[in-house]
Amino acid sequence: MIFNFDFLDSDSQDRDYNNLMEYLRKQHPEVLSKIAQSASPEVKQIISQNVQGLVGMLPTGDFNIKVTTDKENLAHLLASAMMTGYFLCQMEKRRDLEESVFGSDSLNKSSETEELPESE
């Protein structure tokens, strides 16, 4: 899987300089491919379920499903999936770090007893 920059080519790109996009453009395709493949099966599953929920999910065996959208909405969907992936990878790293420091048993106990702060 290689990141495709062509979907971003538009007039708005001239107005909005994106430093991260320039950084990505300078990366070798093999580097981007390696990073894309590093996502765990758990992360891929959650992103897949999220995108299916956003697009709508019908059983493909009984339906011939076609989704129509415009470039801007597709870009928003892709950005959402990318941000979800980034967030999940960071949470996965945090979980692994906590497991290595405290052990897996302490994670289960802390999640059971931890309470969310009350909103005012």
Half-sphere exposure of 82 (CA within 13 A, CB side): 9
Q: Does residue 27 surpass a pLDDT of 70?
A: yes
67-72 long-range CB contacts below 8 Å, 24 or more apart? Answer: 71/7, 71/10
Q: Is the pLDDT of residue 21 over 60?
A: yes
Map out the domains of the chain as residue ranges.
1-38, 40-111
Which tokens is 32 given? 């981007």
pLDDT band at 64 (very low <50, low <70, confident <90, very high): confident
Structure tokens at 87: 């967030």
**Which residue did the predictor score with more confidence, 88 or 119?**
88
Please state the pTM of the whole predicted model: 0.55
State whether residue 112 is helix, strand or coil: helix
Q: What is the reported pLDDT for 2?
A: 45
Give CA angle at 17 (47, 80), nearest 5°: 15
Maximal CA-CA distance, the chain: 53
